[in-house]
Amino acid sequence: MYSLLGGIINTVQFSNHTQYKQWTGEVLAPQQIPALIDGIAAIGELGNCDAVLSGYLGSAAQGRAILTGVARIKAANPKALYLCDPVMGHPEKGCIVAPEVGDFLLDEAAAMADFMCPNQLELDSFSGRKPQSLLDCLAMARALLARGPKAVVVKHLDYPGKAADGFEMLLVTADASWHLRRPLLAFPRQPVGVGDLTSGLFLSRVLLGDDLVAAFEFTAAAVHEVLLETQACGSYELELVRAQDRIAHPRVKFEAVRL
């Protein structure tokens, strides 16, 4: 819908999202990742890769293989970007990752990433504590920023005193930070993949030429549109196809406020 071509290397081959009570499948062996990148290089396409987005990791070894691939792509195209979506355990939804993955994401992936996009639980894990306020969330995001990324997008804020009817996000760079709030939509159970969609849309808008704040605002609006459609359909899976026109042209706009 944005005229961007994407190539996919599945880190896992699962029957369904792990937020369901059960799933089947397997994790891609780490050595297969460089082999697949070799194949892309062999047909002369590595230099045409403008960005890499990594998400769910089956192991730290798999993550290191991805970083090796990112380094190769950046060598072939120095302008290429790397967005790391640091997917970790989520006790409320049942998403589980190997324990060593968290250490890898903080100690290794953050140093190479141009963008890190954690949710609140992942930011808490990186910080070793829970926030006490919005400004505390900001301090935690800045600590992650100091690990290497050019920008940190906190996809979902949660802190004492946050308005119950709002969904809040942060964008933090070395120069400034922005806070955004949109309405929180009610679901019998929260749809799966909202964080993945957020990371993908943000990177897409940056690749299309938006500055970081514009990409941040557009992403919030487009995700909200998808959730409105998903809510209307009573679906657990995101209604991306039904909402595709509204992703490209959101009818709503949310303003990011500089902190």
Query: Is 132 a domain residue?
Result: no
Give the Cβ contact number of residue 82 at 10 Å. Answer: 23
Q: Using alpha carbons only, what angle is made at residue 134 by residues 223 and 225, rounded to the nearest 5 degrees?
A: 10
Q: What is the DSSP string of 96-141?
A: ---HHHHHHIIIIIHHH-SEE---HHHHHHHHTS--SSHHHHHHHH
* Cα(126)–Cα(134) distance, integer angstroms: 17
Query: Is 156 a domain residue?
Result: yes
Q: Which domain holds residue 17?
A: 10-113
Instruction: Choose among 110, 240, 49, 47: nearest CA to 9.
Output: 49
Cβ 93 vs Cβ 129: under 8 Å: no
Whether residues 66 and 159 share a domain: the answer is no
Whether residues 102 and 165 share a domain: the answer is no
- CA–chain centroid gap for 113, Å, is 12
Whether residues 191 and 91 share a domain: the answer is no
Whether residues 108 and 204 share a domain: the answer is no
Find the CATH number of the domain harbouring 214: 3.40.1190.20
* Cα(126)–Cα(192) distance, integer angstroms: 23
* Cα(221)–Cα(252) distance, integer angstroms: 6
Query: Is 131 a domain residue?
Result: no
pTM for this prediction: 0.93
Whether residues 23 and 73 share a domain: the answer is yes
The tens place of each residue's pLDDT in the chain, 259 residues long, gives 555 667 788 877 888 777 777 889 887 788 889 899 999 999 999 999 999 999 988 889 999 999 999 999 999 999 999 999 999 866 565 456 778 899 999 999 999 999 999 999 999 999 999 999 999 999 999 999 999 999 999 999 999 999 999 999 999 999 999 999 999 999 998 888 999 999 999 999 999 999 999 999 999 999 999 999 999 999 989 999 999 999 999 999 999 999 9
How many domains are there within the chain? 2
